């Protein structure tokens, strides 16, 4: 954290502490909507890409709370786009990551909140309301699950690995199928779970040995990328400079499987 003044660090710490409360409160609200799924109003954004009134109302609650405490901060939300004018502090919010799971009644989704300061992600928080699991990381200070330190796996054998993968219909099928085939040929297990943020969080705590998706939005990975880094993992250096707007391909893993997974996915 040597590029921060004492005041900036204090301001970030204040936001970090508040972000955990925001994520848990948002997760509890999402959970209430989840219990009352039959009442959801669902819209289709594109092929197999949905949004419900739950996504919008959870995001609105998150934005309202951030604005109340930090009125001059900028907010980038999946459902509402960009709020407020330019600010050194930019919040990146996915109110329900795993929306397709959510609307189908599959209890695998989360709230993902990250903060950028001067263009660098400084902290990330991911809350899974179904498991009551709060993942968090403050840059330079490690990654945690419900307050306990977490680390990526130590597995160095693909034929004993499990890789979390994601896919959207924004990407050509053969790209996804090609990577899955190569994983299977290497005797690697894969899981397609429907939430990039949880795929990154589970990589950070070693439940899976890595996460790959060919193209995801910034709000899907902003928090999880820092969790993986702070848990001793590796994440692709090819994330573009305009990732906040354009999203990115994402590959992350432990240090042992990096080269093998780079070769399988073609992501550096």
Contact residues toward ligand LIP (CB under 6 A) are 78, 94, 97-99, 166-168, 194-196, 213, 216, 220
Give the nearest distance from C-beta 58 to ligand LIP in angstroms.
Answer: 11
- Minimum gap (Å) between residue 242 Cβ and ligand LIP: 18
Provide the minimum distance between the beta carbon of 252 and ligand LIP in the complex, in angstroms, as a whole number. 13
**E-state strands within the chain:** 42-46, 49-52, 74-77, 81-83, 89-97, 110-117, 120-128, 133-138, 143-145, 148-149, 162-166, 189-192, 210-216, 234-235, 248-253
Burial 137-156 (b: 16+ CB within 10 A, else e): bbbeeebbbeeeebebbebe
- Minimal CA–CA distance to 214: which of 177, 183, 242, 175? 175
* Between 12 and 195, CB nearer to ligand LIP: 195
Q: Which is nearer to ligand LIP, 12 or 200 (CB)?
A: 200
Smallest gap from residue 147 Cβ to ligand LIP (A): 25
Tell the smallest beta-carbon distance from residue 227 to ligand LIP (Å). Answer: 14
Which tokens belong to 154? 């130590």
Q: For ligand LIP, give the closer residue by CB, 110 or 121.
A: 110
Residue number, 34 or 117, with CB nearest to ligand LIP = 34
For ligand LIP, the closer CB: 12 or 179: 179
- Minimum distance, C-beta of residue 187 to ligand LIP, in the bound complex (Å): 24
Contact 212, 250 (CB under 8 A): yes
| Environment class of 120 (CB within 10 Å of its CB; exposed 0-12, middle 13-18, buried 19+) | exposed
Q: Can you tell me the distance from the alpha carbon of 210 to that of 199, in angstroms, rounded to the nearest whole number?
A: 8
With respect to ligand LIP, which residue has the nearer C-beta, 98 or 124?
Answer: 98
Return the number of the residue (77 or 233) whose C-beta is nearest ligand LIP: 77
Give least dist CB 55 to ligand LIP, A.
8
């Amino acid at each position: 954290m040597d590029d921060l003044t004492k005041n900036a660090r204090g301001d970030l710490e204040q936001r970090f502490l508040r972000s955990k409360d925001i994520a848990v409160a948002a997760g509890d609200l999402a959970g209430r909507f989840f219990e009352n799924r039959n009442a959801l109003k669902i819209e289709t954004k594109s092929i197999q890409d949905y949004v419900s009134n739950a996504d919008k109302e959870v995001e609105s609650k998150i934005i309202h709370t951030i604005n109340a405490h930090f009125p001059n901060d900028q907010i980038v939300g999946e459902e509402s786009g960009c709020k407020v004018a330019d600010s050194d502090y930019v919040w990146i919010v996915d109110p329900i990551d795993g929306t397709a799971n959510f609307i189908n009644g599959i209890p695998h989704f989360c709230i993902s909140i990250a903060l950028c300061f001067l263009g660098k992600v400084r902290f990330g928080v991911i809350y899974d309301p179904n498991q009551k699991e709060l993942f968090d990381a403050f840059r330079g200070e490690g990654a945690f699950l419900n307050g306990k330190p977490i680390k990526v796996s130590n597995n160095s054998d693909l034929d004993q690995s499990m890789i979390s993968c994601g896919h959207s219909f924004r990407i050509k099928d053969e790209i996804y199928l090609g990577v899955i085939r190569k994983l299977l040929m290497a005797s690697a297990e894969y899981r397609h779970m429907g939430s990039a943020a949880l795929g990154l969080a589970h990589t950070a705590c070693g439940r899976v040995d890595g996460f790959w998706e060919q193209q995801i939005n910034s709000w899907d990975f902003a928090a999880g990328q820092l969790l993986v880094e702070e848990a001793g993992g590796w994440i692709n250096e090819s994330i573009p400079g305009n990732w906040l707007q354009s999203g990115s391909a994402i590959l992350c893993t432990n240090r042992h499987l990096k080269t093998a997974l780079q070769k399988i996915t073609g992501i550096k």
